[in-house]
């Protein structure tokens, strides 16, 4: 039997992340052959992975990384089975290494085939499944590019976002980070209402109206104030014609109330703003630029971006979360 030294065990442990006893046993089985011991541990990982293939990986760590010149950003989620593993420092460190590698790839498939210390990323996942004893997989893979990219990872590594701007002027770092924090905190999924699919808006409008009308039945039964049933839910639906129709309706209302026509121009703009606010709930929930800026509720995110410069624009953003 080959004599296995502590140095050899430690070398294998550092290379694979496996436990000391697993490394020692693998070296004993391999009769001291380092490469054979690595292969033994890898096969163990494959066996564990096969057994746990149907397990749910609803926990994990979400990591965002930006390259040295702030022109590329990537987010990956390394998913596992339990929160106990997700909070482990070694697990988070592994996820961070994966995110760094992801910066150089444009698709999840290419990333999984990328080199990780002599293994592919996919093979490393299998190896670490054997080490950790839980199913591991890459859940999300997102990438953005721009003249300046900033990122934000929420405490606990459950939510992260990256944001790309079209400029690298002074102040870009703060704005890109603020927007990433906004996206992470407020759950934006799309940049602007202009990017919505009309069919999605139509179906979402119908669904939301149905929910409110159902709620109002119960509220009415209890004698409580009914919720407003919106006609629209997105700025994309508020055409010039719709806005003009509302303006005419308001004029007729003010006339019926006996308000002097001379003051209508002071009243109507505010009511139009309220009309738009009441009928753009989808935008404020899902559209980054149309949300109220969390650091200054007097501004929308779009207005905050313009404080950096009129020509400054958000090129792209991505948000990933593990619920």
CATH for 45: 1.10.8.10
Examine the domain organization and report whether 83 and 126 are in the same domain: yes
Residue carrying the six token digits 């719709």: 242
Whether residue 160 is contained in a domain is answered as yes
Each residue of 181-199: pLDDT tens digit?
Answer: 999 999 999 999 999 999 9
pLDDT above 70 for 1: no
Distances in whole angstroms, Cα of residue 121 to Cα of each of 128, 144, 238, 248:
10, 21, 48, 62
Whether residue 178 is contained in a domain is answered as yes
Count helices and strands (H / E) in the chain: 13, 8
Last residue of a domain, one of 168, 187, 206: 187
Examine the domain organization and report whether 26 and 79 are in the same domain: no
Whether residue 295 is contained in a domain is answered as no
* Tokens encoding 23: 């490394």
pLDDT above 80 for 92: yes
Where are any strands of DSSP class E within the chain?
59-66, 72-80, 115-116, 119-120, 137-145, 148-153, 159-165, 314-321
Query: Helices in the chain by DSSP H: which ranges?
Result: 6-16, 20-29, 34-51, 83-86, 89-102, 108-112, 121-132, 172-186, 198-221, 240-256, 264-278, 281-286, 301-306
Between 6-16 and 20-29, two packed helices, what is the crossing angle to 10 degrees?
Answer: 110
Structural contact between residues 28 and 1, judged by C-beta atoms closer than 8 angstroms:
yes
pLDDT above 80 for 310: yes
Examine the domain organization and report whether 234 and 114 are in the same domain: no
Examine the domain organization and report whether 12 and 113 are in the same domain: no
* Tokens encoding 312: 């400054």
Residue carrying the six token digits 């050899």: 8
93: phi then psi, degrees, rounded to nearest 5: -65, -40
Structural contact between residues 3 and 32, judged by C-beta atoms closer than 8 angstroms:
yes
Whether residue 323 is contained in a domain is answered as no
Task: Note the pLDDT of residue 91.
Answer: 96
Examine the domain organization and report whether 45 and 137 are in the same domain: no
- pLDDT (average), residues 146-165: 97
Task: Note the pLDDT of residue 16.
Answer: 75
Whether residue 305 is contained in a domain is answered as no
Q: Between residues 36 and 200, which one has the greater pLDDT?
A: 200
Task: Note the pLDDT of residue 48.
Answer: 67
Whether residue 210 is contained in a domain is answered as yes
Task: Note the pLDDT of residue 198.
Answer: 96
8: confidence class by pLDDT, cuts 50, 70, 90: confident
Give the chain's domain count: 3
pLDDT above 70 for 14: yes
Examine the domain organization and report whether 26 and 139 are in the same domain: no
Examine the domain organization and report whether 46 and 64 are in the same domain: no
Each residue of 207-216: pLDDT tens digit?
Answer: 999 999 999 9
Examine the domain organization and report whether 24 and 88 are in the same domain: no
Of 83, 87, 81, 61, residue with least CA distance to 133: 81
User: CB-based contacts of 180: which residues, under 8 Å, 6+ apart?
Assistant: 64, 150, 151, 152, 160, 161, 162, 163, 317
28: confidence class by pLDDT, cuts 50, 70, 90: confident
Instruction: Tell me the whole-structure pTM to 2 decimals.
Output: 0.81
Each residue of 228-267: pLDDT tens digit?
Answer: 888 999 999 999 999 999 999 999 999 999 999 999 999 9
* Tokens encoding 230: 């919106």
Structural contact between residues 44 and 16, judged by C-beta atoms closer than 8 angstroms:
no
Whether residue 297 is contained in a domain is answered as no
Average predicted confidence (pLDDT) for the chain: 92
Task: Note the pLDDT of residue 266.
Answer: 94
**Of 41-50, 61-70, 94-103, 200-209, minimum mean pLDDT range:** 41-50
**Cα angle 281-283-287, degrees, rounded to a multiple of 5:** 145
Examine the domain organization and report whether 81 and 162 are in the same domain: yes
45: confidence class by pLDDT, cuts 50, 70, 90: low
Examine the domain organization and report whether 232 and 150 are in the same domain: no
**Of 22-36, 149-163, 183-197, minimum mean pLDDT range:** 22-36
2: confidence class by pLDDT, cuts 50, 70, 90: low
| CATH code where residue 104 lies | 3.30.479.20
Each residue of 119-141: pLDDT tens digit?
Answer: 899 999 988 888 888 999 999 99
Whether residue 315 is contained in a domain is answered as no
Last residue of a domain, one of 187, 209, 237: 187
Any idea what DSSP says for residue 151?
E
Examine the domain organization and report whether 179 and 267 are in the same domain: no
Range of the domain at 201: 194-289
Examine the domain organization and report whether 38 and 76 are in the same domain: no
Integer Cα distance of 126 and 135 in angstroms: 8
Q: Between residues 299 and 56, which one has the greater pLDDT?
A: 299
* Distance from the first to the final alpha carbon of the chain: 50
Q: What is the chain's Cα-based Rg? A: 27
């Amino acid at each position: 039997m080959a004599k296995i030294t502590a140095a050899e065990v430690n070398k294998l442990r550092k290379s694979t992340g496996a436990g000391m006893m697993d490394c020692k046993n693998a070296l004993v089985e391999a009769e001291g052959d380092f490469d054979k011991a690595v292969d033994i541990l890898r096969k163990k990982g494959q066996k564990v992975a096969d057994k746990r293939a149907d397990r749910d990986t609803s926990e994990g760590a979400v990591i965002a990384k930006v390259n040295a010149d702030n022109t590329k950003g990537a987010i990956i989620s390394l998913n596992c089975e339990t929160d106990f593993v997700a909070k482990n420092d070694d697990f988070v460190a592994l996820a961070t290494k994966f995110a760094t590698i992801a910066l150089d790839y444009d698709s999840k498939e290419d990333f999984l085939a990328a080199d990780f210390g002599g293994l592919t990323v996919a093979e490393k996942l299998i190896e670490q499944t054997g080490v950790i004893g839980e199913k591991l997989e890459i859940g999300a893979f997102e990438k953005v590019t721009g003249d300046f990219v900033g990122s934000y990872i929420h405490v606990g590594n459950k939510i992260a976002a990256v944001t790309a701007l079209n400029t690298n002027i002074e102040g870009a770092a703060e704005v890109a980070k603020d927007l990433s924090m906004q996206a992470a905190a407020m759950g934006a999924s799309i940049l602007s209402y202009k990017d919505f699919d009309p069919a999605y808006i139509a179906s979402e409008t119908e669904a939301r109206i149905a929910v409110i009308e159902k709620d109002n039945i119960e509220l009415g039964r209890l004698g409580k104030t009914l919720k407003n049933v919106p006609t629209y839910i997105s700025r994309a639906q508020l055409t010039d014609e719709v806005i003009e129709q509302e303006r005419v309706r308001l004029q007729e209302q003010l006339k019926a109330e006996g308000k002097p026509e001379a003051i209508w121009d002071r009243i109507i703009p505010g009511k139009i703003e309220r009309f738009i606010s009441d009928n753009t709930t989808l935008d404020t929930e899902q559209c980054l630029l149309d949300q109220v800026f969390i650091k200054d509720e007097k501004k929308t995110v779009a207005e905050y971006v313009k404080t950096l410069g009129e020509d400054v624009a958000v090129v792209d953003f991505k948000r990933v979360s593990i619920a």
